[in-house]
Structure 1
Amino acid sequence: MAGIDMEDLRKALSRDGFLILGGFAFDASKTSGVAGLPACDPTGGSGFLILVGNAGGAMWEAFTAAPEARDGARDPLDRYTRRCITAIAAHFEMGAVFPFERPFQPFQQWAMRAGGFSPSPVGVLAHSRFGPWAGFRAALVWETSGARHPPEKPATAQRADPTLEGERAGPCPACVEKPCMAACPAKALTPQGYDVPRCLSYLEANPDAACLSGCLARIACPHGAAYRQGREQARFHMRAFTGGHVGT
């Protein structure tokens, strides 16, 4: 493999509704076992990790047209993601890991390492372009061995794809008003963090809550408004969040 053609990779991912959310080079001999970096071959080596995700409705449109969305089996979106990303990884001779498979990997830490993200009061990371609507679906990992290095350095990859943000900061630290916190009817967003049990209790007690068609706190975020989820997409994810017990 001569190198990572970022433009070809971006096009292959976009056909299935995915996009590149960031990436970084690593030295496995120095980072193996370190939180926030890939746990690679302990014998050494180096490589490049690329975060793959979605924002807006492109992935939802591709997924709902796929057989996994209609076969009635469990975890349709995870299965769709695994099928598509595994095929793309094989084509580009890369490895693939997924946030829904054990052992669970530190995707949020990887995103902070890649840049362009910041922690948000809503519990998800917010992206400088996509706001709180960027979802992590996979990571593609290209590893080299010995003294070889990835022929595509991070700076080259950033020039090839503007969604690799490098050191650019996420939007939340500069947000003073924090409209997301006031918009939550459950009062689950506090200065101490996102109170998930309080959120779930509110939804269970209010099965007709507007939140079940999309988290009102996320919708209130002024960043990435063009990438908000549509009603059916939002309800799909809220059903998953509540374990399918609320809002079905």
Structure 2
Amino acid sequence: MVKIIASIFSIVLCSAAAYSQEYEVDKFDTGDGKELEITFVGHGSLVFKYDGNVIHIDPSSREADYETMNDADLILITHHHGDHCNPDAVDKIKTDDTKIISTQLSVDKLGLGTVLPNGESTDFKNINIEAIPAYNLVHTRDNGEFYHPKGTCNSYVLTIGNKRIFIGGDTENTPEMKALENIDIAFLPMNLPYTMTPEMVADAAKAFKPKILYPYHYGKTDTSIIVSLMKDEEEVETRMRNMP
């Protein structure tokens, strides 16, 4: 029986020195005696904690006051758009020891960081990071240009202990995404006109079958649609979190 979990989650109220508000938090056993904690900040912004490291993903001051957030050991940025690559947020959480991995356009915007091109991988301590192409197949600006042209944006696959986690960033249901294998957790964006419709998210999820699907970056999209589309998919557990 497929599990559609929309309301069962842990809410952690962190101290004023860490977070300034309540965020939903899910925790996972990584099979190595350690735990992965995922904090759902909002939109495309996430925080992972694992083995004493704090990993910020697409930090954006629109979603949180990063002055109150934990300093980053690693920052992953999927692409250069302001709701994913925000210099103000990055400045507030980076230290001299912070590693920043992103795209060329993001490095150009921030003036710092290491480029990880599509199709390449790197390691941060005991975490493997793969850059997967993220791009539009259908949705374009008025001038016909894709919102996210191929080759300019990343999705990421993180291998943390025995967990493989896909972070979509801004993308549509690309062949590269649908060919993924052995994904435990997937974050798939779902808002128009920039990323995917619920139908596109369902198409991708049914193709590569992550064990847990988190639709995120969903704006004003009716999230009941993706829940309905995935309700009979027994191999995928769909979890909704507060990530508009």
- Relative to the length of structure 2, the TM-score reads 0.31
- Greater relative contact order (Cα 8 A, min sep 6): structure 1 or 2? 1
Greater per-residue strand proportion: 2
Q: Highest CA radius of gyration, 1 or 2?
A: 1
Greater per-residue helix proportion: 1
